[in-house]
A = this chain, B = another copy of it.
Amino acid sequence: MVDEILKDTQMEADRREVALQRVGVKGVELPFQIKSMADGHQTVLATVTLTADLAHRFKGTHMSRFIEILEEWRNRPVSGHEVREILQQTKAALKAEIAHMDIRFKYFIEKKAPSSRRKSILGYQSVFSGTMQGGTFDFKLGTEVPISTLCPCSKAISAFGAHNQRATIRAMVKFVPGKFVWIEELAAMLGKQGSSEVFPLLKREDEKFITEQAFSNPKFVEDVVRDCVLELRKDARVRWFEVECEAEESIHQHNAFAYQMETVQR
């Protein structure tokens, strides 16, 4: 066995007495299967960070084991539950107390145009972020929802028109134990909080609908975040959230921004 012949530098004793919180691999790109709400799954391009803590007495971790675990899981549909399994396996493989994983990916959801009902798919940049410490599993779901915002001030002060722009709602959510919120649900809930939704495919009748809807529904980034906060508080499955809205102001080169983090009393 080669591994018995070749020196295992990582297993050498370390005398600095510094236990490390996170050691592992970052920026690993590979296809992954993400479970969808409708009982199937989709293939995504994932960018993964996977780490474990390192006891003070060891010089280094075994980096190839993280890749072996990811190779093993890349063809098995994954959701929150499977992130837990991956982290348990990581803890065991690395003889660690803590394991942490981030899987970032663009997840696609079919949308129907508001008037023509024409279908197209929209991508939501999403993340599963899990930590397993001892027997405790902490999980966050994140997603980014593209919307459009129309400025209430611009509408109020102008004789006609109102500036509007592409904006993004970003949310991270922790659930009550035993509950799970799907990306589909989070995206639908948040996507309604802008001046209007966005769609890849819009025919003229849809463009008319969206233009008029946005003009009838002006919102600052502050309004968007407040309305998201109210929705997130209402969902009995959510026990903590972070939500922000960043609007790519069409009259500036910089962005307008609002942010809120809350632990929800249940």
Q: Which chain A residues have a beta carbon within 8 Å of chain B's beta carbons?
A: 2-3, 6-10, 14, 16, 18, 20-31, 42-45, 49, 51, 54, 59-61, 63-64, 67-68, 71, 74, 106, 108, 115-116, 119-123, 146, 148, 150-154, 156-166, 196, 198-205, 207-208, 210-212, 214-215, 220-223, 225-227, 229-230, 244, 246, 248-261
CA distance A31 to B261 in the complex (A): 31
How far, in whole Å, are A207 and B150 apart by their CA atoms in the complex?
A: 13
A213 to chain B, nearest CB (A): 9
Could you tell me if B59 and A7 are in contact, using CB atoms closer than 8 angstroms?
A: no
Q: Which residues of B contact A29 (CB under 8 A)?
A: 106, 123, 253-254
Q: Can you pick out 21 interface pairs between chain A and chain B where the beta carbons lie within 8 Å of each other?
A: A6-B156, A6-B157, A6-B204, A9-B156, A16-B226, A18-B229, A20-B222, A28-B254, A29-B253, A30-B200, A59-B152, A67-B120, A67-B200, A67-B254, A71-B200, A148-B250, A157-B211, A158-B208, A161-B164, A163-B210, A210-B251
- Complex CA gap A49/B112 in Å reads 23
How far apart sit A226 and B61, CA to CA, in the bound complex (Å)? 13
Which chain B positions have C-beta within 8 A of A16? 226-227, 230
A42 CA to B33 CA in the complex, in Å? Answer: 13
Partner of A163, one of B9, B158, B211: B211
Q: With A and B bound together, what is the CA distance between A21 and B141 in angstroms?
A: 21
CB A64 to nearest CB in B, in angstroms, measures 6
Chief secondary structure at chain A's binding surface: mixed
- Cα–Cα distance between A64 and B30 once the two chains are bound (Å): 32
- Which residues from B are CB-within-8-Å of A159? 208, 212
Is B120 a contact partner of A71 (Cβ separation < 8 A)?
Answer: yes
B7 touches A212 (CB 8 A): no
Instruction: Give A222 Cβ to nearest chain B Cβ, in Å.
Output: 5
How far apart sit A256 and B123, CA to CA, in the bound complex (Å)? 17
Q: Please judge, given known A-B contacts A30-B123, A198-B253, A200-B253, whether A158 and B211 are in contact too, CB under 8 Å.
A: yes
